[in-house]
Structure 1
Amino acid sequence: MDQPTVGILHPGSMGAAVAACAATNASQVLWCAAGRSPASAARADQFGLTPVATLAELLDRADVVISLCPPAAAEELAREVARHRFVGTYAEANAINPERTQRIATLLEPAATVVDGGVVGSPPVRGKTPTLYLSGPHAATERIATLFTGTAVRTEVLGTEIGKASALKLAYASFQKTSRVLVALAVGMAREHGVDQELVEVASRRSDSYLAEPQYVAKTAARAWRWGPELEEAADTLAAAGLPPEMLRAAASTLERWHDVKDEGELTLTDALDRLARP
């Protein structure tokens, strides 16, 4: 099918932007409005997505479904899709560990064909070009890759094994997100003793140090509600490999202190550090 109908579950900041890119090579991109917030509806409208009343309608009409939701919701969402006996291509693109991805594939197959996906990078807006890594059956990964041809979402196929894309996503996230948490703690400690500017100057003399970008702490705080669960998934992946998960669990615990500033765009560095210092 040259131009498939695509369904997106659910259009958050990443999901809506990715879905809008898929629309370039799709006949339509659907989203289910039932139970979603006004913010989700506004985002879907902004990106030109087509609303449907129920999940059942979306699954009946869609040839391809892309799941991009908070990690904790991924498995239950897949169970709901499985109950409707979806028969198309299901791209499990959430930041979850490989074992959960494999369980989801078992839930949905053989009725559906499951592709493992992992997005590395920021949402594809304002010139950002994330990469969607894919693994799974060859024809299905090619189908997903074709959806994003000529768009701001780059794709790379890692092979046929379900779990590879998830593992790569979490391996990168475990470094990138934990590093940002360590910056917040280091700057917070330095600020307590009046040497935060000096700390940034020291870091600025070294190349590629996140410490030289303390302004990013506020962005980290606003994303804590997503990053924390992602790091818990990465910690589970470490534990499954016999590696110590404690550092990532501690970073996730630190992020919980920012849980009440979800997606707050006006948060300042001072606000974020003040909140971090309050249990």
Structure 2
Amino acid sequence: MDQPTVGILHPGSMGAAVAACAATNAAAVLWCEAGRSAASAKRAVQFGLVPVGTLRELLDRSDMVISLCPPAAAEELARDVAGHRFAGVYVEANAISPERVQRIAVLLGPDATVVDGGVVGSPPVRGKTPTLYLSGPAAATAQIDALFAGTAVRTTTLSTEIGKASALKLSYASFQKTSRVLVALAVGMAREHGVDQELIEVASRRTDSYLAEPGYVAKTAARAWRWGPELEEAADALAAAGLPPEMLRAAASTLARWHDVKDDSELTLSDALDRLAQP
């Protein structure tokens, strides 16, 4: 497919930046203004996305749709798309369990061609180069490879089997995000006993220890509204595999204590730990 028209659902911090990369090899990248926030509109303008008034218009004009939204909304969004009988390539790139992406593939079929995707890494801005892992029909994954060729989004195809990309994403997220939560708990406990600086000193003697980066706790708190649902999805995936999900559910419960500091870039480590200590 030469120069496809691409629709992005929706332009959050990751979605807008990924969409901007897609624009390099697309005829246009569309986003739907209906029901979106002022922040979404600002990002869309910043990244040069083309506004349309309705979801139907976006779907009618798009050859490919990329879904990047909070995990809890992924299935409902796919159901809305299915209601319009979208017949292009649907890239389900949210951090959801393999079982959910398989349900979405059934929901959208046989009209659409569903590709399972998982983004590992930070949004592709300021030199960051995340990888979009893909699994699904070979012809469709080849189109996505071409869409992001030469951009800051790297693509890697894992398999033709739906669910593989989501499994990889959640496997990585299970460790990476839970580790950040454990840092907050460890530093919080040490601070309670006045030994937090000593803890950091101990941790800094080891290489690649998150405990040596306590400043990241504030960023974890600001992202908790997204990370919590993602860990719930990962817990579902563990349970489906016969593995214990309790640790990830507990981590999600911990993250919920930061629900009221969504995307707060001014939050300090002390503020984040104070909020974590509140019942």
Offset at residue 109 of structure 1 (A): 1.0
Deviations 1:45-79 (A, max 9, x none): 10000000000000000000000000000000000
Q: Which residue of 2 aligns with 1:59?
A: 59
Q: Are 1:114 and 2:125 counterparts?
A: no
* Matches for 1:210-225 after TM superposition, within 5 Å: 210-225=210-225
Distance 1:263 1:150 in 2: 30
Q: Which residue of 1 aligns with 2:152?
A: 152
* Matches for 1:1-279 after TM superposition, within 5 Å: 1-279=1-279
Distance 2:117 2:274 in 1: 36
Distance 2:74 2:113 in 1: 16
Deviations 1:25-49 (A, max 9, x none): 0000000000000000001110000
Does the residue aligned with 2:21 lie in a helix, a strand or coil? helix
If the length of structure 2 is used for normalisation, what is the TM-score? 1.00
Distance 2:219 2:271 in 1: 11
AA of the residue aligned to 2:19: A
Does the residue aligned with 2:159 lie in a helix, a strand or coil? coil
Runs of 4+ with deviation above 2 angstroms: none
Distance 2:270 2:44 in 1: 33
Does the residue aligned with 1:188 lie in a helix, a strand or coil? helix
Deviations 1:96-148 (A, max 9, x none): 00000000000111100000000000000011000000000000011111110
Distance 1:166 1:270 in 2: 34
Distance 1:268 1:137 in 2: 45
Distance 2:41 2:113 in 1: 28
RMSD, matched Cα: 0.4
Does the residue aligned with 1:115 lie in a helix, a strand or coil? strand
Distance 1:44 1:259 in 2: 25
Distance 1:196 1:143 in 2: 50
Distance 2:80 2:145 in 1: 25
Could you tell me the percent identity over the aligned residues? 86
If the length of structure 1 is used for normalisation, what is the TM-score? 1.00
Distance 2:128 2:276 in 1: 29
Distance 2:274 2:153 in 1: 36
AA of the residue aligned to 2:267: L
AA of the residue aligned to 2:173: A
What are structure 2's unaligned runs of at least 5 residues?
none
Does the residue aligned with 1:21 lie in a helix, a strand or coil? helix
Deviations 1:170-218 (A, max 9, x none): 0000000000000000000001111111100000001111000000000
